[in-house]
Amino acid sequence: MKKTQYLLTGAAGNLGSSVARQLVAEGRAVRALVLKGDPAAERVPREVELMVGDVTDIASLDRFFSDDKDTELVVIHCASIVTVSPDYSQKVYDVNVTGTKNIVDKCVERKARKLVYISSTGAITEPPRGQRIAEPTLFDPDSVVGFYGKTKAEATQIVLKASAERGLDASIVYPSGIAGPGDYAYGPVASFVIDYCQGKMGAGIAGSFNAVDVRDLAAGVIACCDRGRRGEGYVMANARVSIEEMFHLLSERTGTKEVKRILPVPLAYAIAWIAGVAGRISGKQGRFTTFAVYNLARNNDFSCEKAQRELGYKVRPFEETIADLIAWLRAERKI
């Protein structure tokens, strides 16, 4: 019987490290690709075989995929660059699109048993409000908002085409926002909580969050490795939470004075546009961009019925995720 080796990119990130921990806990053999000098690599479980490399470096991928013929490879491609900047970035494109194509090519070359690609709900064309967002079959980068979403849409189409035309057994996971403890990159949700608790947020936007717990998402990704159907995608999200609900929850859990002022979306867009112009002039781009406003103002109602039905996907209440995130941020002395 052939042994199974899990190859994990983006292992130093919040999702990647959580996937690594769960795979190790289940006794599965994991090899992880990490960037040279990435300080977050020390957070990866010691049982994981670490390999320095980059998805844009073919030579390092050759080493990463090297194994004997009696080994079956299951590849989980988490690596990407997330950005709230709406502007074109060659580096983001190289990692998110070209890097994914490189991984797909290596999977085909090495006849990997399975590829699970971590895409994004941002790659899905947004339907009108009142319609729940489910898994699409085609992707049009021109119809999604934000450069990050465009790169993920293009990369997803590359994966699906390889599944249809090149014999690759690949499945896609579409996470919403990601939240939870262990986010050493301090992504959007963690940064939002920090800013709110430090009194840096004088007002909110008339919008909403939808963030899946990183631990539940990791379990869903592993289930997709085991049971995900070829050429199929799975939305993994949580319940929609309004900004007012988020503010109330954070204040209730931390004792921070609750912010009551909520800006209408058009005004928020205007402020973000001005901030973007100022950032380009100064060379210091902040987090409050037009794309950040869009992510809060957009339709954030996602359907996870397919993942629940086919993969057994489960998600804990958002209140529990926030409580654990707050406890972790306090332990890290960020709030």
Residue 199 lies in a domain: no
Residue 129 — very low, low, confident or very high, per pLDDT cuts 50/70/90?
A: confident
How much is the pLDDT for 86?
Answer: 79
Query: What's the rounded mean pLDDT across residues 144-149?
Result: 92
Could you tell me which residues come within 8 angstroms of residue 133 by beta carbon, excluding any fewer than 6 positions away? 121, 124, 126, 127, 235, 299, 301, 302, 303
- Structural domain includes residue 262: no
Domain that residue 306 falls in: 3-186+209-239+301-316
pLDDT > 70? residue 45: yes
Nearest to residue 149, comparing CAs of 90, 243, 81, 212? 81
Q: Please check whether residue 15 lies inside any domain of the structure.
A: yes
Its sign, for the CA torsion 202, 332, 84, 236, is negative
Rounded Cα gap, residues 260 and 95, in angstroms: 40
| Residue 270 within a domain | no
List, in order, residues 6 or more apart from 281 with CB less than 8 Å away: none
pLDDT per residue over 218-240, tens digit each? Answer: 999 999 999 999 999 999 999 99
CATH of the domain at 174: 3.40.50.720
Q: Does residue 256 lie in a domain region?
A: no
* pLDDT band per the 50, 70, 90 thresholds, residue 61: very high
Average pLDDT of every residue of the chain: 94
Name every residue whose Cβ is closer than 8 Å to that of residue 40 and which is 6 or more positions away in sequence: 12, 13, 17, 184, 185
Amino acid symbol at 154: E
The DSSP element (H or E) to which 212 belongs, if any, is strand 211-213
More reliable by pLDDT, 280 or 35: 35
274 in any annotated domain: no
For residue 325, the model assigns a pLDDT of 97
Q: How confident is the model at residue 85 (pLDDT cuts 50, 70, 90)?
A: confident
Per residue in 304-316, pLDDT (tens digit) is 999 999 999 999 9
Q: Nearest-CA neighbor of 169 among 217, 225, 119, 220? A: 225
How many domains does one find in the chain?
1
Q: 75 lies in a domain?
A: yes
Q: Is the dihedral of CA 259, 265, 268, 272 positive or negative?
A: positive
Residue 267 is predicted with a pLDDT of 95
Residue 328 lies in a domain: no
pLDDT: which is higher, 97 or 37: 97
For 261-282, what is each residue's pLDDT tens digit? Answer: 999 999 999 998 888 877 777 7
DSSP structural state of residue 126 = P
In 3D space, the residue among 215, 214, 173, 168 whose CA is nearest the CA of residue 73 turns out to be 168
User: Which tokens in the block code for residue 278?
Assistant: 């100022």
Q: What is the pTM of this model?
A: 0.93
Query: What CA–CA distance (Å, rounded) separates 188 from 226?
Result: 30
pLDDT value for 1: 67
